[in-house]
A and B are shown apart, each in its own frame.
Chain A
Amino acid sequence: GDSVTQMEGPVTLSEEAFLTINCTYTATGYPSLFWYVQYPGEGLQLLLKATKADDKGSNKGFEATYRKETTSFHLEKGSVQVSDSAVYFCALSERGNKLVFGAGTILRVKS
């Protein structure tokens, strides 16, 4: 079945550092790919998405590119802030149906 693997955390960075969180997937078809974020004490929020190969999703300075050849959707940000501290989930969906999530990566940003 479909699955998502993302790098284990926690990831601890200093403010203004570069962020990469790796995500790879296994799917039978051509899924849409998502990054969701969960801030402390809050619900899951969509951060960005990409629906086909080579699409780049972006939001709030975060970017991820849908790489079909490497089945990856790595999340990047050029300069993190303390307010980016959260749990980040990579997910896929086939045909607009259920989401399949990775285990999540905790990001801690120190000032």
Chain B
Amino acid sequence: DTGVSQDPRHKITKRGQNVTFRCDPISEHNRLYWYRQTLGQGPEFLTYFQNEAQLEKSRLLSDRFSAERPKGSFSTLEIQRTEQGDSAMYLCASSLALGQETQYFGPGTRLLVL
């Protein structure tokens, strides 16, 4: 069990650029979640997938954000036209889709928008 992995671990970009993050969940997990965490706050839910279907999106996920999980395995989160307010830690988690299953978190991707 290699755990949830995320790539890259750090990203610095200029305002207006597009960025894409990748998450690889634990292999048998069919649910995958994205959260955003800013300094001094708890993680906030962005969206989640069951297999390849995106089942819920937060109002935090503006039109500039898009997430995909094309084959029900890894997922990507893209932010278009980045803004300084997008600077945060982006966390991915995965779980089995059976009742109250524990979510296992990756190390996160820290984004800094200059």
Footprint of B on A, CB under 8 Å? 4, 32, 34, 36, 42-46, 49, 51, 89, 91, 93, 95-104
In this complex, the interface size class of chain B, counting residues with CB under 8 Å from chain A, is 20 to 34
How far is the CB of A97 from the nearest CB of chain B, in Å?
A: 7
Give the A-B contact count at a CB cut-off of 8 A.
56
Can you list 8 pairs linking A and B with CB atoms under 8 Å apart?
A46-B104, A96-B95, A97-B48, A98-B48, A99-B35, A99-B93, A102-B42, A103-B41
Query: A46 CA to B43 CA in the complex, in Å?
Result: 14
Minimal beta-carbon separation of A54 from chain B (angstroms): 16
Q: Which residues of B contact A45 (CB under 8 A)?
A: 105
- The chain B residues found within 8 Å of chain A, CB to CB, are 33, 35, 40-45, 48, 56, 91, 93, 95, 97-108
Contact (A101, B42) CB under 8 Å given A43-B107, A43-B108, A44-B91: yes
Determine whether the beta carbon of A103 is less than 8 Å from that of B107.
Answer: no
Docked-complex contact B42 and A91, CB < 8 angstroms: yes
Residues of B within 8 A of A43 (CB): 91, 105-108
- Given A44-B105, A46-B102, A96-B100, 20 more A-B residue pairs with CB atoms under 8 Å apart are A43-B105, A43-B108, A44-B91, A44-B93, A46-B104, A49-B100, A49-B102, A95-B100, A96-B95, A97-B48, A97-B56, A98-B56, A101-B42, A101-B43, A101-B44, A103-B40, A103-B41, A103-B42, A104-B40, A104-B42
